[in-house]
Structure 1
Amino acid sequence: MLPYEALEARARERLPQVVFDYFAGGSGEESTLADNAAAWARLRLRPRILRDVSSVDTSTELLGSPLSSPILVAPTAFHSLAHPDAELATAQGTRDAGSLLVLSSRSSRRLEDVASRAGPWWFQVYVFRDRSLTRDLVQRARASGARALVLTADTPYVGRKRRTQRGDVGLPLSDEDFLANLAGLTRRELAEQAPDVTFEDISRLHADSGLPVLVKGVLRADDAREALRHGAAGLIVSNHGGRQLDGALATADALPEVVEAAEGRVPVLVDGGVRSGRDVLRALALGARAVLLGRPVLWALATGGADGVRELLEGLREDTAHALALAGLPRLSSVGPDVLAPPR
């Protein structure tokens, strides 16, 4: 598997600077962005010895979908900036790797077209200022085969990015790509996130779609419990890749209290800074059922299209299997908190 730094460097060579900065940047001073990766590295591993690891099984299941590994594709916007085939290529590469795609509402291809290329997929949802837009989108997603909704809950307003002070202004992005799922909408402000979104929107989304709703952006136990009280079918520990409130704690540091609050009632997933099979192992040891990749997928898409996405996911799956074997763990169910050393 190509190391993350090398993959990122290749993407930087391929992409216009403004596009690379848009994908790579974080909010504020980018302290949370940096800490996401560093927090996983702070967790030390305690491998077992003399276990039979001649065969290692990384397969898993999430909300009824069998998967080749606990490594999913996180929702990220505007894949046309990375590759001409955009989310169509991402969906194909994800499907070919036996993984699951979480498709962004702000994809640059229509969700119906992406669904035709995808394996199992979930649809990421913002509650827009115009809630009728949200309602129409989730109903279309269900009709197109989405198996769940993912409510992004940490974005009442878009965080200010140091590298891209003007947000998406200046990106080589047509109105058609910007609003691919909202054809005919000419006023972009109608598709802005609603700042008055609340926990009540979890149950509304479920009622509008009939689909299970996972909540993304959870960093606190009390928020986790409240989301569950309102019907969340899963929790995703996320700080939006360090793109929202700078100074927010790293997802590896937030994960244990969210897992404890969930009490095994729903799957807990995590994103942010996962770069290797060892990181996947660490996340599983902290109680996550799966991890999601954001920027690595964009870099793989930019450098290799659908094949690049497939190779990334397959490579990380193999790296995870290798880490499991070296830790004396033949299957995902063997992973527990004892794999991690106590904090120093």
Structure 2
Amino acid sequence: MAQNYGRARQNEIYSAGIHGRTPSVPTDFATLERRARARMSRRGWAYVAGGAGEGRTMAANREALDRWAIVPRMLRDTSDRDLATDLFGQTLPAPILFSPVGAGALAHDRADVHIGHAAAELGLPYIFSNQGCAPMEDVAAEMESVRPGAPRWFQLYWSTDDRLVRSLVSRAEAMGAAAIVVTLDTTMLGWRPQDLNLGSLPFARAEGIDQYTSDPTFWEIVAERLKGATKEKPEISIGAIKTLLSIARNVPGELRRNLTAPEPRAAVETFLDIYSRPSLNWDDLAVLRELTDLPIVLKGVLHPDDALEAVERGVDGIIVSNHGGRQVDGSISSTDALVDVVDAVSGRLKILVDSGFYTGSDVFKALALGADAVCIGRPHMYGLALNGADGARDAVANIVAELDLTLGLSGQSDVRTLTRSALKRL
């Protein structure tokens, strides 16, 4: 990011205002969320914005951040500010990443390609979703067209079939991933009333399974299952016909054939059966280390003992996360967990955080509490819903700009030297 990025972003918006133009992506989260809701379908909103149970964890994420106040210092030269940070051998212009969000096409067609484009424009990493709506190779190619060498990571959901795990990791390496992010907290879906009340599971409609349907190994598994399958007469209903149409459109191949062929429906059933493995345990990490030399990052760590185990197992980084409040209702907030994890780990691996961080001041607090970087989820999805790639870019650009201004206005000049002395617990 250019020096004085925050002021440059402000000036860009104010200059447009002279001509009566206002931002297509609101600069505050509340308005951004409200406008995105008006734009998105009921199913899309339920999936992206919804949380587990009564939403207590989502509320806790925000309440925990509010318990930490920034304490600005005065008469310090902050004219030269540095947002850059280093992660796994890459220097990033700001300590912010685009989080993986599954079934993004509920917000915008080929969402992942647009998000990748946005991230590449800013030079920030995009963690490709394992439950994406475009093959990882397509997203990588788009990012390369915008910025050669644009940083990207890959999120791995550990399948019950290790052959698929090997294939996904191999593809991630080939498309230039700088790290493998193993998501730990979704070995089964949490209780999500917003989706349940609509009877809406995107993956059952082949929404968000493009990493699978673009994988030769996955289709081998589908073929094996078809050989041993017994034919059952499906229930016919208007809803079933709509679902079949969605599957036929979202699975590769000619639409007319997909409507009658057994493979597309079998692909969905196979995905639902094998996408994640509840038996995943610490010993499995040794298998992953044999598969790749890329840094391994564990996403979903909340307990300090798990963080210490990650250190002992030679893991390279963790993402402190409660999955945006979407898995366990009443879970510890990501901010409270971050404090405990940072204290336990004492700098022995990289610590990132997500879940409930929506603004530049939120990012400032996370960094001061000891995070090396912050992953942004819902804001870039809302921007995407409003204005595609440009919207996703602007939503995160606004967060970076506010971080820059908050840094300077708080008497700080380097994100890498922030400590808890910049905050006060209320």
TM class by shorter-chain length? over 0.9
Given that residues 85 and 305 in structure 1 are in contact (C-alpha distance below 8 angstroms), is that contact kept between their aligned partners in structure 2? Answer: no
Alpha-carbon shift at residue 179 of structure 1 (Å): 2.1
The answer on 1:133 being equivalent to 2:216 is: no
| Residues 244-302 of structure 1: CA deviation (Å, up to 9, x unaligned) | 11111101111011112222121101001111111111101110000001111110111
Aligned to 2:412: 329
Conserved? CA contact 2:100–2:377, under 8 Å: yes
Residues 1:4 and 2:52 are matched in the alignment: no
Who is 1:158 aligned against? 189
Q: Is the 8 A contact 1:268 1:289 kept in 2?
A: yes
TM-score normalised by L of structure 2? 0.77
The offset of 1:232, in angstroms, is 0.9
Would you identify which runs of 4 or more consecutive aligned residues in structure 1 move more than 3 Å? 166-174
> What whole-Å deviation, never above 9, does each CA across 1:74-120 have from its counterpart, x for those lacking one?
11102211112310000010110111101111101001111112321
Aligned to 1:275: 358
Q: Partners of 2:128 and 2:172 in 1: how far apart?
A: 10
Greater fraction helix: 2
Q: Establish whether residue 191 from structure 1 lines up as the match of residue 216 from structure 2.
A: no
Q: Check conservation: 1:130, 1:190, Cα contact below 8 A.
A: no
**What TM-score, normalized by structure 1, do the two folds share?**
0.95
Aligned pairs for 1:160-179 within 5 A: 160-165=191-196, 169=200, 171=202, 174-175=205-206, 177-179=207-209
Q: How does 1:287-306 map to 2 (within 5 A)?
A: 287-306=370-389
Q: CA deviation at 1:61?
A: 1.7
Q: Distance in 2 between matches of 1:193 and 1:4?
A: 32
Task: Note closer, same or farther for the CA distance 1:227–1:167 as it changes in structure 2 (3 Å cut).
Answer: farther
Q: Is the 8 A contact 1:202 1:227 kept in 2?
A: no
- Alignment of 1:63 with 2:146, yes or no, is no
Partner of 1:154, secondary structure, is coil
Distance 2:131 2:112 in 1: 10
Which of 77, 81, 99 is the equivalent residue of 1:74?
99
Structure 2 Cα separation of the partners of residues 122 and 179 of structure 1: 18
Distance 2:89 2:31 in 1: 35
Report the AA paired with residue 195 of structure 2. T
CA distance in 2, matches of 1:338, 1:258: 18
Does the alignment pair 1:251 with 2:334? yes
Equivalent residue, structure 2, for 1:46: 71
RMSD: 1.7
Rounded Cα–Cα distance in structure 1 between residues aligned with 2:162 and 2:383 = 34
CA deviation vs aligned residue, 1:22-71 (integer Å, no higher than 9, x gap): 11111111100111122112211121111001122211121112211111
The question of 1:180 aligning with 2:210 is answered: yes
Q: Deviations over 1:191-231 (max 9, x none)?
A: 33101001122222121122110001111111001112112
Does 2:398 align with 1:309?
no
**Aligned with 2:33: secondary structure?**
helix
AA matched with 1:231: G
Equivalent position amino acid for 1:317 in 2: V
Tell me the residue number matched to 1:114. 139
The 8 Å contact of residues 219 and 251 in structure 1, kept in 2 or not, is answered as yes
CA distance in 2, matches of 1:179, 1:203: 26
Matched residues, percent identical? 37
What are the equivalent positions in structure 2 for 1:205-284 lying under 5 Å apart? 205-284=288-367
Instruction: Count residues with an aligned counterpart.
Output: 342
Residue 369 of structure 2 corresponds to 286
Q: In the aligned structure 1, how far is the partner of 2:274 from the partner of 2:283?
A: 20
Q: Note if contact 2:107-2:381 (Cα within 8 Å) is conserved in structure 1.
A: yes
Aligned match for 1:93, one of 118, 121, 125: 118
Alpha-carbon deviations, 1:146-173, whole Å to 9, x = none? 1110011112211010111179836498
Q: Secondary structure of the residue that 1:268 maps to in structure 2?
A: strand
For 1:239 and 1:323, the matched residues in 2 are separated by 26
Q: Which amino acid aligns with 1:323?
A: T
Larger radius of gyration: 2
What SS does the corresponding residue of 1:163 show, helix, strand or coil?
Answer: helix
Identify the range of structure 1 (78-87 vs 67-76) with the bigger mean alpha-carbon deviation: 78-87
Structure 1 position 28 matched with structure 2 position 53: yes
CA–CA separation in structure 1 for the residues paired with 2:412 and 2:324: 29
Instruction: Report if the CA contact (8 A) 1:202-1:231 is conserved.
Output: no
Alpha-carbon shift at residue 174 of structure 1 (Å): 4.6
The alignment partner of 1:249 has SS state of coil
Structure 2 unaligned spans of 5+? 1-25, 144-149, 214-218, 223-266
Q: SS in structure 1 opposite 2:276?
A: coil
Give the 3-state SS of the residue equivalent to 1:193 in structure 2: coil
